[in-house]
Amino acid sequence: MSAPHILVVDDEPDIRNLVQEILVDEGYDVSVAEDAAAARAARRVHRPDLTLLDIWMPDVDGITLLKEWQEEGSLTAPVIMMSGHGTVETAVEATRLGAYDFIEKPLSLAKLLLTIERALESDKLQRENSDMREHLRPAIEPMGKSVLMQQLREQILRIAQHDTWVLISGEQGSGKHQCARYLHANSTRSNGPFIDVGVASMGSEQSAVELFGSEVDGKVHYGRLEQANSGILFLDDIADMDMATQGKLVSALESGSFLRIGGNEPVAIDVRVIAATRHDLQQRISEKLFRDDLYYQLNVVPLKIPSLREHSEDISELLNFLVDQFVTQEHLTYRSFSVAAQNRLRNYGWPGNIRELQNLVQRVLIIGGDGQVELDEIESMLSNETVKTSGTVSMPPVFDLPLREAREAFEKAYLEHRLKEAGGSVGKVAKLAEMERTHLYRKLRALGIDPKKAGVGDN
């Protein structure tokens, strides 16, 4: 894993060179710039993890440059301001614009190193807290005492020690994201960023910019790949990536560098890629929906996550953990599950896997009564897990799913219903759904729908 990259911007050569030498001795990767123009150029070549920025410079002052970065949205790492003639007003203005701290010259090297260390640690904690708020959980190990889960944990810990790319596969809700975070926490890159990219949430037109960043009129937008430098880029669900972006990703992974959209200078990267999918990628390859070269690059180490029904003996432990989690994090009332209720849950099919179990426990604690959770309450919850639409098509419970998965569930149920109405005729469905036929065929393949089978009624 590469060391944190620090950009030193100062118009005094003696200070630049001294700070660079000291920081290199401390194990940091350092680049220098003598003015604002050189600083902009340096940031285009390599996104810094921290910037030391002098206020008084010959072309553009540091406050103006800081404001420029803040307005264009490229202030993605800590900035420490430096000045020998600073005032309280200047320090306040720098802080308001997003600077981490303000150090006076002549520099105290001990204070400088301590401030840098604290700034990098603060940035790391902010990213972790952001991840926890977004995902409602830290990087905890996959739960369960079953043989399957013991083997899974052991496999993840072994994989974590090698800096290879990993392809995680498993059903929706089975815990692919949790396993990726657990792998990161136990890897040699644990101090680096964990950048989570929901591939399906990126529109095909914006996916390349989101992933690789852009340069427009000299302004730099750092993409997710660059933000993951020295850490891990998690791509979920990789099967949803459009073919053009797949091609760019293949080139970046092969060469270790890429061009931002609109940029001319290659950007070097040191990233470990973990991809996840709930689809059969080899089938996608045969359908010309996924590149085989990208598959072979990502599938260096395959990691299969078992479905919950494959280790249902872990239900009791998972129930205890989830109840404690919701009581602690959301201050819900504690309730235990009766033996009969636990037994019923152990024998349920769990099409939504651990996410479905998590949602059920949350609902029980929110809308249930007091005291122990009994069998009749569980039966009532499970009976509502299937919603009937028009009396003909069975839809999964979509309201507890992320938007992408809920949309896919609806589209699948909708198109299967239309195909039954049309006797399996894709042409008729295209007219009914007001879709272009070629697009409809691609959508059916992506959702795993066989028009002939879907067109057979429930006789």
What are the tens digits of pLDDT across the range 165-179? 999 999 989 999 999
Tell me what the pLDDT averaged over the chain comes to: 85
The gap between the terminal CA atoms of the chain, to the nearest Å, is: 60
Lowest mean pLDDT among 49-63, 74-88, 220-234: 74-88
* Residue 282 near residue 295 (C-beta atoms within 8 A): yes
DSSP string, 438-459: HHHHHHHHHHT--HHHHTS---
The domain segmentation of the chain, as residue ranges, is 5-133, 148-304, 310-385, 392-454
Examine domains 5-133 and 392-454 and report if their fold is the same.
no
Residue 205 has pLDDT above 70, yes or no: no
Lowest mean pLDDT among 40-44, 81-85, 285-289, 424-428: 424-428
pLDDT band at 282 (very low <50, low <70, confident <90, very high): very high
Residue 130 has pLDDT above 70, yes or no: no
* Residue 262 near residue 214 (C-beta atoms within 8 A): yes
Q: How far is CA 86 from CA 81, 83, 90, 191, 201, in A?
A: 10, 5, 6, 34, 45
Q: What is the CATH number of domain 148-304?
A: 3.40.50.300
User: What CATH number matches the domain at 392-454, 3.40.50.300, 1.25.60.10, 1.10.10.60, 1.10.287.1770?
Assistant: 1.10.10.60
* Residue 338 near residue 375 (C-beta atoms within 8 A): yes
Was domain 310-385 assigned CATH 3.30.450.20?
no
pLDDT band at 6 (very low <50, low <70, confident <90, very high): very high
What are the tens digits of pLDDT across the range 309-345? 999 999 999 999 999 989 998 888 999 999 999 999 9
362: tokens are 């949350």
Cα 452 from Cα 435, distance rounded (Å): 19
Dihedral, CA of residue 334, residue 339, residue 345 and residue 347, to nearest 10: 170
Cα 427 from Cα 454, distance rounded (Å): 14
- Assign a CATH topology to domain 5-133: Rossmann fold (3.40.50)
What are the tens digits of pLDDT across the range 73-128? 777 889 999 987 767 788 788 888 888 998 888 888 899 999 999 999 888 777 66
